[in-house]
Every structure is written in C-alpha cells, then in structure tokens.
A = this chain, B = another copy of it.
C-alpha cells in the first residue's frame, strides 16, 4: 500500500474570492415529483442491441401479491431522471392471522438501462470502485400492516428501479405503493420546442421525412442527457463520477447556450476551476469536486487546461459577460505558458509517453483509446486553443499574448503540417497512423491549407477502414464539429444519424459515456455496469443539429 498522507490537502488553498463568486452562483435545483408509471417485465431478447426488451407487466403495482423472500418487481418511471430521493410506502401483509413478526430487508437497484435491472452485477470485473454500482439494501425493522413511508436519500440516476425483497419471515409479504422519485436538475424538465424542419433546410441537408422522427428523438435524448447532468455543477455523469470536468463542461456549455440558455451555471463552473488550481504554478485541475465543500480534483489534463480558454471565450460570446473574461483571463493564459514548455525548437509539441492509463501528471486525453497516437491531434488542439486565446484577448481588448502571437501559431501550424500531412490526410507518429482525431483537430485548428484539403483529409480519415476512430462521443463530437467547420454538413448529419441514432436504436433514454455500435458492451472501465449511461460529453447533438440550421 502506498504511504498515506494526512488530511491536509496537497493542493494550493482555494482562492476565497473566486470560490465565493462560484458559491454565490450555486443554483437551487428544480424538483419534480415523478411517480413510477408502471410495473414492467424484462425479457431476454437477442434481437435487441443490448439484449433485453420490456413489456407491460400483467399486474399493476397494487395488484401484485405481497412479495416474500426472493421475490421482486421492476418499475418504470417513463424517462431518465436524477432523483435526490426515492420515496415509497411499504405495508406488511400477513399470510394468515399472525402479524408481521420480523424485520424485512429490501434491495433496490437503480437502472439507467434495462441491463442494470435485468442482469446481475456479479461477478464485477470493472476497475472502478464497486461502490459505484447503483444498489442499496435497507432494513425495515418493524414492518406493519399500514403502509409506512421509506426513502432512499442517496442520489441515483435511473429510469427503472428493481425492488427485491431479500427477506421477510414466513408469516408475511411486503406490498409497495406510492413509489415517487424526486427528480432534480438545475434545468427545467419542461420539454423544449421540438426540432422543426423547414423545406429549405430539409432540402439543403437532403433530409428525408423519415429522418425527422429520428433526429427529433436524438435531440430529445441529447437534451435529456444535458438536463440530467445539470445539477449544482455540470456533472460528467450523474450515475458515476458525479463531478465537473473541463472537457465535458465546454461541450455541455455550448449545448446549454443552444437550448436551456444557461449562463450562470457555466460561470459558476469556470470560477470553481479558476479558484482551485492543481499546483502552485496555477495549472488547472481537470476535474473539481463540490461536496461537502469545493475541493480540487487530483489530476490535470493538458488538453482540458487549454480548452478552459475556449470555454471562457464561448461563454463570453454567448452571455456577453466580459467582466468574467477580465477576471479569469490571466488564469486562462497561464495554461499556455505551462503547456508550451513542451514545444521544442522545431515547434513540435512533445506528447510524453503516458506512465499509466490516466497519463500521470502529464495526461493528454483526446479520447479513451490506447491505440490512438496522439501527437498530431494534440499539436492541433494546442493551435485550436491558442487561436481561442488570441480571440479572447482581442475580445477583451487585451494585448496579444506574446507566445501566442499569430506568427508563433503559424509556426506551430507549419511544423505539424510539414510533419503530419501526407498529401491526402494528417497522420500521426512514427507509424503514420491515420485517425479521426488527427484530422478533426487539424481542420478545427485550420492547419489544412484550403477548404478542399481539409474536406479531403477528413473524408480520408472517416472513410478508411484502417483509420483509428472514436471510442467516446467526446471525439465523435469533435469529428462532427470538424465536418461542420469544413463545410461538410451532410457528413455531420450522416454521422449523427448513424452514431447517435445507433444509441437510440439501442434504447438509451440518455446518451452513454462510451459507445461503439459494433461493440455495444465496450466500456473503458472493464465493466459495462460501471459506465455512466447519461454522460455530459454525449449530449452534443443538441448543439450540432442547431449548428446545422435545425431549430
């Protein structure tokens, strides 16, 4: 076991002024009482992508005979939600005249998808903590014939809940009623206007009327994903992780400007990061915790610390709040001072070989993909972010950042173009690996010399079977963002329909953290059940579809 540190934090003290600003923006969550709608039965169905199908149970909740040891039922709340509590009533119904004469144990399992409530979590082979598995067992010490209120007060994300009676005595069973979840979000649960399809847009995007339903469903699910991640911060996943990450925040914020018109929660999150640097130099942490008091996450991701600038710029552009820009500009700029130390005299950014899966202190993320050579993509991200910094300085009337002056940025571009462009597409590393990541970020960074060159590079990466693709919707998003940037809206739309559409076909009510339609049980964490099936960085169709002109 590693040496144990004491309880003093290894991180700099949070800046009290910045923390105060963040905490003053902490939203009061909207609460919606959501009753369980019906009892369902879940059956094995190999014709479905995830292996399960549901049907209405024969009996309604009040018709189910009292449950004895080993019996169970599953309720469906009709939609994904994040519940700050789950309330229900339990009555102990005797089989004969003897009243309930023992405690009862009740296990609840919270399912974002049917698999959660249909399959056993055992054996658990994930490498994230088993404590994340969404289940609790509670003891009702004195069951009684009159319904008694019980509650789960830990927060869970779910659409389905399995109620299992672990044990009663032989004398009684349990009848459940009034199952009501308190759904929470800082966003509204009221539905936003559905996407409309004007004939001009439909024509320009070659949309068939059969596409409309799918795109509307993708948009609805994307917005539900965003909503359920919007708590007192922009969480990455309300089922697992439950915290704020810069890379996720950027995408969530862009989606929220396009939908819920949120600015304050974004501002709160920007200030939380700004207030709690990872080290004394001022490097930003990649993630932040807020409970029971804001504290620094224990890692830093280079791309995320640079993307803080883009997030800040996006925020100012969306909200018009220049004051926040002035307040946080120096912190944004600092990240470049720190990151660009890795740029050599050849103007090539040196991505170190990761020391472990999370990259140690030099974590370069881009995607959950151990096969991916990150060097070309990363240099393009640096350029992409540096451009945002230059624009931010300009917007705020600040002097142009010396190290990021267009001239310097041009040298970074030229260096990676010379190194990575093979005449058709951008490749990466000694093996000249072709990937989505290299080409998407090359286009977003404007490294390609012309619109046509960018289009060809993107198409080459997208259409080649050997190309390294994306494992997470995060990278799929940047691919689509690049399609739009390269004026290939039809490819963006095609990809949204195919990729996010395959999630819809799989039955997701919110979009998951990682998804490969060819490997539906792929998880970056060794276990499907340790995934978050509602994940921040997967909500971006809500943005992309609007960027494509649909509203």
Binding site for B on A (CB under 8 A): 1-7, 9-11, 65-66, 68-69, 91, 93-99, 101-105, 127-132, 136-137, 139, 141-142, 144-146, 148, 154-155, 166-171, 173, 241-242, 289, 291-292, 295-299
A168-B4 CB under 8 A given contacts A97-B10, A144-B292, A145-B9: no
Contact residues of A: prevailing secondary structure:
loop
Contact assessment for A1 and B68 in the assembled complex, using a CB-CB cutoff below 8 Å:
yes
Are A146 and B99 CB-contacts (below 8 A) given A68-B1, A169-B128, A169-B131? no
Q: Would B7 and A99 count as touching, CB distance under 8 A?
A: no
Cβ 8 A contact of A103, one of B4, B9, B129: B129
- Docked CA distance A99–B154 (Å): 20
Q: When the two chains form their complex, are residues A168 and B129 in contact, meaning their CB atoms are under 8 A apart? A: yes
Known A68-B1, A95-B1, A96-B2; contact A131-B145, beta-carbon cutoff 8 A: no
Q: How far is the CA of A101 from the CA of B141 in the complex (A)?
A: 32
Q: Are B298 and A146 in contact (CB under 8 A)?
A: no
**Candidates B98, B102, B131, B169; contact of A167 at CB < 8 Å:** B131
Give the shortest distance, in Å, between A65 (CB) and chain B (any CB): 6
| A298-B97 in contact given A102-B128, A105-B131, A128-B102 (Cβ < 8 Å) | yes
Cβ of A102: which chain B residues have Cβ within 8 Å of it? 128-129, 131-132
Known: A4-B93, A10-B97, A101-B298. A139 touches B131 (CB 8 A): yes
A4 pairs with B66, CB closer than 8 A: yes
- Selected from B69, B101, B103, B146, the residue in CB contact (under 8 A) with A7 is B146
The CA of A130 and the CA of B105, in the complex, are separated in Å by 9
A168 near B131 with CB under 8 A, answer yes
Shortest CB-to-CB span from A295 to chain B, Å, is: 6
A447 to chain B, nearest CB (A): 35
* CA–CA, A155 and B139, complex, Å: 11
- Name the residue among A128, A129, A166, A296 with the largest chain B CB count within 10 angstroms: A129
Tell me whether B132 and A96 are in contact (CB under 8 A).
no
Q: Which 4 A-B pairs have the closest CB atoms?
A: A98-B298, A102-B129, A129-B169, A131-B167
Query: Which residue in chain B gives the minimum CB-CB distance to A147?
Result: B7
B contact residues around A96 at 8 Å (CB): 2, 5, 298
Cβ-defined contact, A130 with B98, below 8 A: no
Min C-beta distance of A154 to chain B, whole Å: 5
Beyond A4-B94, A148-B292, 11 additional pairs, beta carbon < 8 A: A1-B68, A4-B66, A5-B96, A101-B241, A103-B129, A129-B169, A129-B170, A131-B139, A131-B166, A141-B154, A144-B295
Shortest C-beta distance, A95 to chain B (Å), equals 5
Q: Which residues of B contact A132 (CB under 8 A)?
A: 102-103
Cα–Cα, bound, A96→B297 (Å): 12
Residue of A68, A142, A155, A168 contacting most chain B CB atoms (<10 Å):
A142
**With A and B bound together, what is the CA distance between A127 and B155 in angstroms?**
36
CB pair B93–A5 under 8 Å, yes or no, is: yes
Distance in angstroms from A298 CB to nearest chain B CB is 3
Evaluate whether A291 and B144 lie within 8 angstroms (CB atoms) in the complex, with A105-B131, A137-B137, A167-B131 already known: yes
A136 to B167, CA, bound (A): 13
